[in-house]
Amino acid sequence: MSAALSVLHGVFGYPAFRGPQEAIVDHVIAGGDALVLMPTGGGKSLCYQVPAIVRQQQGRGVTIVVSPLIALMHDQVGALHEAGVDAAFLNSTLDWEQTQDVELRLQTGAITLLYAAPERLTTPRFLGLLDDLYQQGHLSLFAIDEAHCVSQWGHDFRPEYRALSILHERYAGVPRIALTATADALTRADIIERLRLEEAQLFISSFDRPNIRYTIVEKKDATTQLLRFIEREHAGDAGVVYCQSRKRVEELAATLVEAGIAALPYHAGLPADVRQQNQNRFLREEGIVMVATIAFGMGIDKPDVRFVGHVDMPKNIEGYYQETGRAGRDGLAADAWMAYGLQDVVNQRRMIDESPAGEEFKQGLRGKLDALLGLAEATDCRRVRLLAYFGEASEPCGNCDNCLHPPEVWDATDCARKLLSTIYRVHQSSGIGFGTGHIMDVLRGKKTEKVEQFGHDKISTFGIGAEFTEPQLRAVLRQLLATGAVGLHKVLLESGHSFDTLCLTDASRTVLRGEVPVRLRASTAAAS
């Protein structure tokens, strides 16, 4: 039996590796770098814990685990102790004496896995310790957990992660394994670049969570809708409900309690002891519903969360998928339920507009928000859309709201073709592209100053979309953007500003020819 398997059996008590775990473990034990993209609950921890133990047995010394969350470190180290593994952590909860004790044990080779916060790892004092271990050949492996924290494109950027790029140069030859459950192409490329993982082997698991049923409803009265959902489908079950603001968390938790549901609030504004107490109750008692901001969840390993609700729309699909991924880690049926409204989108857009970030970065954020809105408005399989967003092709799942209850649709193909023709004609007539507002004006036959200035009231598509409302047109445009039938082309002005213009793509042609229908929810189309 391989050393890895005997550790899996003997230390962790599991009969077999899951999915790609074995290939990852073998690669890392052999000294290779790895970037592991695995959904929440996929079993990332074992991917570095098993190599850490095996390599320690081979006399290679300690594995350093970089982890962003203190709660996560405590849980993991506690679990490792129970399994009889020498593990420790270094973070701000330790006093001077405890810190010295851990450092001493580290120097004498008594620790197999050391968990450390990134800001701790890059202090001169800690680097000095690592230098010594490295020179003695006792620095075995670096594991960088929640690696998306290094990327601004991730939903959980932590500047301290940036400093981790030094590990590569300073400790050449020490293998590194970076792990994350966030896997869109932009974030992935950023992780590779920032952490200098160009040589690492990429391990991508399927991101599908087949036991989670996705449901996205239009928001009318989110509280009542949520109550009905819980009462009908999840009475007495454990769940998490995410809200955008602390105030909303408090209000909603109180409303659920009034309705006889065992709900508790959680957000960063609550005193630390209250937060800890609520978290403990959620983990230990049955059937607690945690009403929370996104401050809650990372590193919480509760297998029997039966539903995750969103009463407000998150910022992007990565966040949505990570949060919903906390449901059903035990593999049993679970629900991801979200209520979305256009007001959410307006609020999120305003937050983006008012943020101090650069314009290009804001455009990226708006694009991500639109992708999530595209998902909410989709009339076809949610899972197909979600997985496609992460670069994975799939077939309709039969286990999402759209598959189970196909929505009433409005055939927007004609509208989409008029839109595409207008984008084309306007470009043809002026030799440059234009933004959404102007295209809408031409399509709806509005003689604005700009329209007249460019003579766009003279082109054949002027006013051909007069029967559509602006919200309808915007909804159609979002679907076209979400499916790639319209592209964005950035135009740089001499002033240094830039703006996005709409342009046609290869996929536009299939829509223009009527080969691919465009469908919207009848309710979205009516909302004007």
**Footprint (CB under 6 A) of ligand ADP, residues 9-38:** 14, 17-18, 21, 38
Retrieve residue 23's tokens: 């290939």
Of 36, 48, 37, 38, the C-alpha closest to 12 is: 48
Shorter beta-carbon distance to Zn ion: residue 44 or 382 = 382
Binds ligand ADP (CB under 6 A): choice among 20, 29, 41, 167:
41
Supply angle C-alpha 253, 257, 259, rounded to 5. 120
Which of ligand ADP, Zn ion, none interacts with 383 (beta carbon under 5 to 8 A by kind)?
A: Zn ion
Q: Is the dihedral of CA 464, 470, 473, 474 positive or negative?
A: positive
Alpha helices in 311-407 (DSSP H): 317-324, 342-354, 359-377, 382-389, 401-404
- Those residues whose C-beta lies under 8 Å from the C-beta of residue 515, and which sit 6 or more positions away, are none
Backbone φ/ψ region at 400: left (φ over 0), alpha (ψ -120 to 50), beta: beta
> 400: which DSSP letter?
B
3-state SS string for 132-174: HHHHCCCEEEEEECCHHHHCCCCCCCCHHHHHHHHHHHHCCCC
Residues 327-346, one symbol each (x = binds ligand ADP by CB under 6 A, - = not), give: --x-----------------
Residues 277-316, one symbol each (x = binds ligand ADP by CB under 6 A, - = not), give: ------------------------x-x-------------
Alpha helices in 407-520 (DSSP H): 413-430, 436-443, 449-453, 470-482, 506-512
- CA–CA distance, 292 with 245 (Å, rounded to integer): 9
Shorter beta-carbon distance to ligand ADP: residue 322 or 422 = 322
Retrieve residue 225's tokens: 């809708």
Q: Do 433 and 502 meet the contact criterion of CB atoms below 8 Å apart?
A: yes
Residue 67 in contact with ligand ADP, rule: CB under 6 A: no
Minimum separation from the CB atom of position 516 to Zn ion (A): 19
Q: Do 502 and 488 meet the contact criterion of CB atoms below 8 Å apart?
A: yes
Strands 87-90, 113-116: pairing is: parallel
Shorter beta-carbon distance to ligand ADP: residue 14 or 157 = 14
Minimum separation from the CB atom of position 382 to Zn ion (A): 5
Number of amino acids touching ligand ADP (CB under 6 A):
15
Residues that bind Zn ion (CB under 5 A): 381, 383, 397, 400, 403
Which of ligand ADP, Zn ion, none interacts with 40 (beta carbon under 5 to 8 A by kind)?
A: ligand ADP
Which of ligand ADP, Zn ion, none interacts with 21 (beta carbon under 5 to 8 A by kind)?
A: ligand ADP
Which of ligand ADP, Zn ion, none interacts with 215 (beta carbon under 5 to 8 A by kind)?
A: none
**Residue whose beta carbon is closest to ligand ADP:** 43
Which of Zn ion, ligand ADP, none interacts with 478 (beta carbon under 5 to 8 A by kind)?
A: none
Minimum separation from the CB atom of position 353 to ligand ADP (A): 34
Query: Beta partners for 144?
Result: 66, 178
Minimum separation from the CB atom of position 17 to ligand ADP (A): 5
Binds ligand ADP (CB under 6 A): choice among 4, 46, 375, 440:
46
Shorter beta-carbon distance to Zn ion: residue 99 or 206 = 206
Summarize as ranges the residues that interact with ligand ADP (CB under 6 A): 14, 17-18, 21, 38, 40-46, 301, 303, 329
